[in-house]
C-alpha cells in the first residue's frame, strides 16, 4: 500500500456499519439519503464483505457513485469453528469485541491509500466507541439509530430504569416515571438487555454504553419524523446535543429499484402481485416476521389453522422450516387460492397493494414505518429487542394495530385479531388513524417538510 501525505476534507466521510440483521441496509439507506442532498461528498462505507456484496451487487447502489464500499475483517479468527449452539450470536459478540480495532485500522489504511483524511465519522449508534475514534481524529461524530425514538429513549434512561424497576418480578411495573410515557407502558415492554435479561452480555453492555455516550455525539439521526411522537421527541431533544429526525427514509430514497436484479425473485414477485390483483381491496393478510423471521413451530401451526379455518386470504413471507406447517396446508390453501407462501418479497411493494388489509408482523421498526406509509394496520407478535415497545406504541400511542392476545399465536387469538382488524369497526378506525399518520409522513419528507429540512441541516453539521 502506498503512503501519501494526507489532507483533511470535510467532504470525506467514514461510515462504520454494524454488519448484522437489517442494520447495514438501514445505514446504507440513511447514507444514500445524505448523498442525495450532498452529491459533492464522498462516503466510505466500512462493512464486512458478505454484507457489502449483497448491498452493492446489481443495481443496489445505482445513482450513488459517491458511496464506496470498503470491506473490513469480520472478527472471526482463521479456521474459526463456532463453540456454542448459537453461532450467529457468537459471531456478533466476537465482532463487538474486535470492532474498535477493526475500524480504526481500516480508517488508517484508507486514509493512507487515498491521501485524504476523513472529516467526519458516521456510525451506527450502537458503536459508542466511535466517539473515542472521532475524538482522536478531531472530527465530529454523527450517529444513526435505526429504530424508533422511544426505544432509543429507554437506552438513554437505562440507569434510571434499572434503579426503579431493577428487582426481579417487577415486569408489570408501569413506566410513567419516564417523561413522555403513560402508565400503559410496562417494564415487560423493555428490551431484555435493559433490566430482566443478561445485562452483562456483550450486546447489553454495548447498549448501555451507547446510552451513556450518545449525548456526546454532534448529532443523532433517527429514521422517524417529528409529528409521529411529539412528546418523546421533545424529551429526547433535551438529552442530546442534536436529535435529527430524517425519516421515513424509505420514502426519501428507496434502497433498491422496484424491479429486482434476480430474475427468479422478480418472477416470484410478479406472480404474487398478480395473485393479489385477484383479491378484494383490504382483504388479504400479509405475514412477515422481519429479516430473521421465524416463529416457533407451534405458533406456525396455530396461525396456519386460524387462516384456514377463518378463510382469510394470506401472503406469508416465510423463512422457517416448511415442514412446520400442518400436513398438506400449503397444497390445500394454494389450490383454493386462499394463500401463498414465499421465501422473500419486496415488502414495500406488497404492502402498497390495495388488496392488503392487515400486516401480521414481529413489530420491527422498518416494518412499522412501511405499514404506516402504505396505510396498513397491524397485528403484532413482538419477539425481542425493541419489538415489544414498538408494538405498545402501535397499540396505545397511535392506535393503529393490536398485539396478539397473550403475546403468542393461538388459533382462537389469531382468528379474533384478524376479524377485529379486517372486519370490525375497530379495524376501520385504525385505517383512518393510520391514514392521518401516512399524510404526516409524506409531508415530513416533502421538499419543505421537517425531515427534509433536518437532512439538509445534518449535511451542514457534517461539513462544518
Ligand X SMILES: O=c1ccn([C@@H]2O[C@H](COP(=O)(O)OP(=O)(O)O[C@H]3O[C@H](CO)[C@@H](O)[C@H](O)[C@H]3O)[C@@H](O)[C@H]2O)c(=O)[nH]1
**Which residues contact ligand X (rule: CB under 6 A)?**
21-22, 146-147, 288, 290-292, 317, 344-348, 364-367, 370, 385-387
Q: 26 φ, ψ to 5°? A: -65, -40
Nearer to ligand X, 69 or 380 (CB): 380
Nearer to ligand X, 6 or 292 (CB): 292
Q: How far is the CB of 112 from ligand X (least distance, A)?
A: 34
Look at the block and give the residue holding cell 502506498. Answer: 2
Q: How far is the CB of 196 from ligand X (least distance, A)?
A: 17
211-241 burial: b if 16+ Cβ within 10 Å, else e: bebbeebbbbbbbbbbbbbeebbebbbebbe
CB 92 within 8 A of CB 20: yes
Helix (H) or strand (E) holding 121: strand 116-124
DSSP-assigned beta bridge partners for residue 131: none
35 Cβ partners below 8 Å, 6+ apart?
Answer: 41, 43, 64, 66, 67
Distance CA 56, CA 44 (A): 13
Q: How far is the CB of 21 from ligand X (least distance, A)?
A: 4
Could you give the 3-state DSSP secondary structure of residue 446?
coil
Q: How far is the CB of 294 from ligand X (least distance, A)?
A: 11
Q: How far is the CB of 276 from ligand X (least distance, A)?
A: 14
Catalytic residues: 23, 124
Q: How far is the CB of 346 from ligand X (least distance, A)?
A: 6
CB 127 within 8 A of CB 97: no
CB 289 within 8 A of CB 313: no
Nearer to ligand X, 111 or 348 (CB): 348
Helix, strand, coil percentages, rounded to 5, for the chain: 50, 15, 35
DSSP 12: E
Nearer to ligand X, 118 or 127 (CB): 127
Q: How far is the CB of 250 from ligand X (least distance, A)?
A: 7
Q: 13 φ, ψ to 5°? A: -120, 130
Nearer to ligand X, 150 or 213 (CB): 150
Distance CA 374, CA 391 (A): 17
For residue 21 the three cell numbers come to: 440483521
What's the start-to-end Cα distance of the chain, in Å?
31
Helix (H) or strand (E) holding 119: strand 116-124
Nearer to ligand X, 119 or 382 (CB): 382
Question: Which residue number has the CB closest to ligand X?
Answer: 364
What's the angle, vertex CA 147, arms to CA 146 and CA 151, rounded to 5? Answer: 140
Nearer to ligand X, 111 or 386 (CB): 386
Instruction: Please state, in angstroms and as integers, the Cα–Cα distance from residue 277 to each residue in 47, 56, 108, 351, following that order.
Output: 39, 32, 53, 13
Q: How far is the CB of 69 from ligand X (least distance, A)?
A: 20
Distance CA 295, CA 290 (A): 11
Distance CA 420, CA 414 (A): 10
Amino acid at each position: 500500500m502506498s503512503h501519501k501525505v494526507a489532507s483533511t476534507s470535510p467532504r470525506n466521510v467514514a461510515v462504520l456499519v454494524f454488519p448484522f440483521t437489517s442494520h447495514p441496509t438501514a445505514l446504507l439507506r440513511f447514507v444514500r439519503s445524505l448523498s442525495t442532498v450532498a452529491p459533492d461528498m464522498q462516503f466510505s462505507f466500512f462493512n464486512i464483505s458478505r454484507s457489502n456484496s449483497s448491498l452493492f451487487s446489481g443495481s443496489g447502489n445505482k445513482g450513488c457513485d459517491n458511496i464506496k464500499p470498503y470491506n473490513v475483517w469480520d472478527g472471526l479468527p482463521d479456521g474459526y469453528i463456532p463453540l456454542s449452539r448459537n453461532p450467529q450470536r457468537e459471531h456478533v459478540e466476537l465482532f463487538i469485541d474486535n470492532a474498535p480495532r477493526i475500524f480504526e485500522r481500516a480508517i488508517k489504511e484508507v486514509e493512507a491509500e487515498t491521501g485524504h483524511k476523513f472529516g467526519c465519522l458516521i456510525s451506527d449508534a450502537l458503536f459508542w466507541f466511535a466517539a473515542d475514534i472521532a475524538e482522536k481524529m478531531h472530527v465530529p461524530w454523527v450517529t444513526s439509530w435505526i429504530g424508533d425514538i422511544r426505544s432509543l429513549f429507554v437506552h438513554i434512561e437505562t440507569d434510571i430504569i434499572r434503579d426503579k424497576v431493577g428487582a426481579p418480578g417487577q415486569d408489570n411495573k408501569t413506566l410513567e416515571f419516564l417523561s413522555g410515557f403513560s402508565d400503559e407502558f410496562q417494564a415487560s415492554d423493555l428490551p431484555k438487555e435493559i433490566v430482566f435479561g443478561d445485562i452483562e452480555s456483550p450486546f447489553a453492555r454495548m447498549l448501555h454504553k451507547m446510552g451513556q455516550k450518545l449525548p456526546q455525539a454532534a448529532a443523532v439521526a433517527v429514521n422517524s419524523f417529528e409529528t409521529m411522537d411529539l412528546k418523546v421527541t421533545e424529551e429526547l431533544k433535551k438529552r442530546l446535543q442534536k436529535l435529527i429526525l430524517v425519516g421515513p427514509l424509505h420514502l426519501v430514497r428507496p434502497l433498491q429499484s422496484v424491479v429486482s436484479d434476480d430474475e427468479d425473485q422478480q418472477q416470484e414477485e410478479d406472480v404474487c402481485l398478480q395473485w393479489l390483483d385477484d383479491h378484494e381491496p383490504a382483504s388479504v393478510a400479509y405475514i412477515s416476521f422481519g429479516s430473521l423471521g421465524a416463529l416457533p413451530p407451534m405458533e406456525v401451526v396455530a396461525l396456519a389453522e386460524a387462516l384456514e379455518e377463518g378463510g382469510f386470504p394470506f401472503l406469508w413471507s416465510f423463512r422457517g422450516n416448511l415442514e412446520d406447517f400442518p400436513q398438506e396446508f400449503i397444497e390445500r390453501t394454494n389450490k383454493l387460492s386462499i394463500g401463498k407462501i414465499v421465501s422473500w418479497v419486496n415488502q414495500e411493494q406488497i404492502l402498497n397493494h390495495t388488496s392488503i388489509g392487515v400486516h401480521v408482523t414481529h413489530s420491527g421498526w422498518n416494518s412499522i414505518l412501511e405499514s404506516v406509509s402504505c396505510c396498513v394496520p397491524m397485528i403484532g407478535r413482538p419477539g425481542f429487542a425493541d419489538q415489544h415497545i414498538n408494538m405498545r406504541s402501535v397499540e396505545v400511542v397511535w392506535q393503529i394495530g393490536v398485539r396478539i392476545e397473550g403475546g403468542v399465536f393461538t388459533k382462537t387469538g389469531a382468528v379474533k385479531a384478524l376479524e377485529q382488524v379486517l372486519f370490525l369497526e375497530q379495524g376501520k378506525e385504525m385505517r383512518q388513524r393510520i391514514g392521518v399518520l401516512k399524510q404526516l409522513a409524506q409531508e415530513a419528507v416533502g421538499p419543505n417538510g421537517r425531515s427534509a429540512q433536518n437532512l439538509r441541516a445534518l449535511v451542514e453539521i457534517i461539513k462544518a
